């Protein structure tokens, strides 16, 4: 039996709604279902009752808030009530499992933040009902939970190999191992749960957009662009997130006719929603590092320097571009090893003295993506700050660069100030990492010292 056949054969063990959510799904098949019928079923679950009332109140803006479940169902509508109840049922019932490397808590926290971000973007951008955007965002990654449920050991091995990136590389490994990836399996589950075809299509288009943003028109893919912007808003402020997510957010916002200033407001709305939803669902809201999108969009503005002298490996096969970039970086006070090939760069990096790598995407022996993948697979390259830059259209390359482990990305056509701003950002990140490493070492030394002095009892 093939792995795909095994997954299909175990469909009955995949995540599925239970209790009140299941009863609501059964009600959907009845033409005579009333609001009173729905309220009667939901009242059996006090926690769900509170969550649905909260969902209704979050969607009404300045209108009077309600404490009535009957009113909440009227405001949400039966379809949205059923979808939201299903989501909350899954969150409550699948908080742990047998796939040890799969972080169930982090999965649901990230899914909730994606849902809150999708709702906040949809409310500003239009073209997507905010409540349905919340549901699509929350369920977009449900295929990962499904694979962790039906193939816990094998999926755990893939997670370990992927080193926590969770993007296109993980989906490729999933297809190789199981014959299906979490994107498609999630869409299959949504179909099985009788979600509208438009919502299933939106999730499929979101992943298509993640793989290849170029050529996807905003008019045909507007909902998917909303979800892509939500993904960037979710990923960008996270601890140790690649700075390139800021550029993904700006590009997606441009597709939706939103400016950089609006992004900060949307991010604040999503953070507020997250702070309200997390305790209701017994989840821990992760600490986020707010991004100044306006500053990121205008890197030639007065951005403060880090004051650090960085040891930078510059990899560029074009001699004139290499000389220009080297002169600019050295003028900014950095030590620069300007090299023509990835092989030369790897030899320098192997000495363990480098802090940052700036690499051209297109090189004859090993391109920037391959170089980045190679670095991330080694101990010495794992903590380097990597910036890729390219002369080609950047749209479809941004997420590919992030997936390969790059920290930031810029276009060759951009002004020199943009590259310097990206270097400054990298310097600040490296400095924070050094501070944390120092704190850890001091704590470890203190612990060892205390153990030595106390000794055995």
SS3 category, 313? strand
CA distance 60 to 24: 23
| pLDDT in the model for residue 152 | 93
- CA dist list (Å): 390 to 254, 313, 356, 408: 20, 16, 17, 12
- pLDDT of amino acid 198: 93
Domain with CATH 3.40.50.2300 in the chain: 311-438
Distance from C-alpha of 184 to C-alpha of 444, rounded to nearest angstrom: 45
CA proximity to 113, closest of 78, 146, 86, 140: 140
- What does the pLDDT read at residue 440? 44
The bridge status of strand 385-390 relative to strand 335-339 is unpaired
Q: What angle do CA 324, 395, 236 make, to 5 degrees?
A: 90
pLDDT of residue 306: 46
Other beta carbons within 10 angstroms of residue 214's beta carbon come to 10
Please work out, in degrees rounded to the nearest 5, the angle formed at the alpha carbon of residue 189 by the alpha carbons of 188 and 195: 95
Q: What is the full DSSP assignment across 416-454?
A: HHHHHHHHHHHHHHHHHHHHHHHHHHHHHHHHHHHHHHH
pLDDT of residue 62: 41
Residues of the chain with CATH 1.10.3210.10: 3-231
User: So what's the architecture of 3-231 in CATH?
Assistant: Orthogonal Bundle (1.10)
Alpha-helical segments (H) within 43-151: 46-58, 69-76, 78-93, 104-125, 130-139, 142-150
Nearest residue to 53 (alpha-carbon basis) of 282, 276, 275: 276
pTM for this predicted structure: 0.77
Under DSSP, the state recorded for 11 is G
Residue 78 confidence (pLDDT): 83
* Closest by CA position to 314, among listed 347, 276, 351, 358: 358
d(CA 415, CA 115): 36
> What are residue 390's phi and psi, to 5 degrees?
-145, 155
Question: What are the pLDDT tens digits along the chain (457 aa)?
Answer: 566 556 656 655 666 667 777 788 777 667 677 888 888 888 888 888 898 899 888 865 546 788 888 888 888 888 888 888 888 888 888 899 999 999 999 999 999 999 999 999 999 999 999 989 999 999 999 999 999 998 999 999 999 988 766 778 899 999 999 999 999 999 999 998 888 899 999 999 999 988 776 555 555 689 999 999 999 998 888 766 677 888 889 889 988 999 988 998 999 999 999 988 999 888 987 666 778 887 777 655 444 444 578 999 999 998 998 999 999 999 989 999 999 999 999 999 998 889 999 999 888 888 888 898 899 888 888 889 999 988 765 666 778 888 888 989 888 877 788 888 889 888 888 887 766 555 545 555 555 454 554 455 4
Q: Phi, psi at residue 137, to the nearest 5°? A: -65, -40
- Asked if CATH classification 3.40.50.2300 holds for the domain at 311-438, the reply, yes or no, is yes
Q: What tokens appear for 435 in the block? A: 């501070």
**Do residues 57 and 69 touch, judged by C-beta distance below 8 A?**
no
Q: In what order do the strands lie in the sheet with 385-390?
A: 335-339, 311-315, 356-360, 385-390, 408-411
């Amino acid at each position: 039996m093939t792995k795909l056949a095994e997954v299909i054969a175990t469909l009955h063990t995949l995540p599925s709604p239970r209790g009140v959510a299941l009863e609501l799904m059964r009600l959907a098949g009845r033409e005579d279902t009333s609001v009173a019928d729905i309220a009667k079923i939901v009242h059996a679950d006090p926690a769900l009752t509170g969550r649905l009332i909260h969902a209704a109140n979050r969607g009404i803006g300045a209108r009077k808030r309600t404490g009535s479940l009957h009113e909440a169902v009227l405001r949400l509508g039966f379809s949205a009530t059923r979808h939201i109840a299903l989501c909350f049922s899954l969150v409550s019932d699948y908080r742990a499992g047998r796939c040890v490397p799969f972080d169930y808590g982090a999965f649901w926290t990230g899914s909730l933040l994606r849902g809150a971000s999708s709702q906040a973007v949809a409310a500003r951008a239009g073209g997507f009902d905010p409540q349905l955007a919340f549901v699509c965002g929350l369920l977009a990654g449900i295929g990962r939970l499904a694979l962790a449920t039906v193939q816990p050991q094998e999926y755990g091995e893939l997670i370990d190999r992927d080193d926590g990136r969770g993007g296109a590389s993980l989906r490729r490994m999933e297809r190789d191992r199981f014959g299906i990836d979490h994107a498609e399996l999630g869409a299959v589950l949504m179909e099985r749960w009788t979600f509208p075809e438009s919502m299933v299509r939106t999730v499929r288009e979101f992943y298509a957009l993640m793989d290849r943003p170029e050529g996807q028109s905003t008019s045909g893919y507007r909902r998917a662009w909303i979800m892509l912007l939500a993904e960037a808003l979710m990923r960008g402020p996270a601890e140790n997130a690649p700075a390139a997510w800021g550029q993904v957010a700006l590009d997606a916002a441009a597709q939706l006719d939103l400016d950089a200033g609006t992004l900060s407001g949307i991010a604040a709305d999503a953070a507020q929603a997250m702070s309200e939803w997390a305790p209701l669902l017994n989840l821990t809201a992760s600490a986020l590092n707010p991004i100044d999108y306006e500053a990121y969009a205008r890197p030639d503005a007065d951005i403060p320097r880090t004051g650090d002298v960085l040891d930078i490996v510059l990899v560029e096969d074009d001699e004139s571009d290499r000389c220009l970039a080297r002169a600019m970086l050295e003028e900014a006070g950095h030590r620069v090893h300007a090299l023509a090939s990835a092989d030369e760069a790897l030899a320098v990096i192997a000495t363990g003295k480098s802090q940052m790598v700036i690499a051209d995407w297109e090189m004859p022996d090993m391109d920037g993506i391959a170089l980045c993948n190679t670095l991330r697979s080694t101990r010495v390259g794992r903590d380097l700050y990597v910036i890729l830059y390219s002369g080609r259209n950047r749209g479809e390359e941004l997420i590919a660069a992030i997936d390969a482990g790059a920290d930031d990305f810029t276009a060759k056509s951009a002004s020199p100030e943009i590259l310097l701003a990206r270097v400054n950002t990298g310097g600040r990140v490296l400095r924070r990492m050094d501070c944390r490493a120092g704190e850890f070492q001091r704590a470890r030394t203190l612990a060892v010292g205390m153990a030595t002095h106390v000794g055995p009892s």
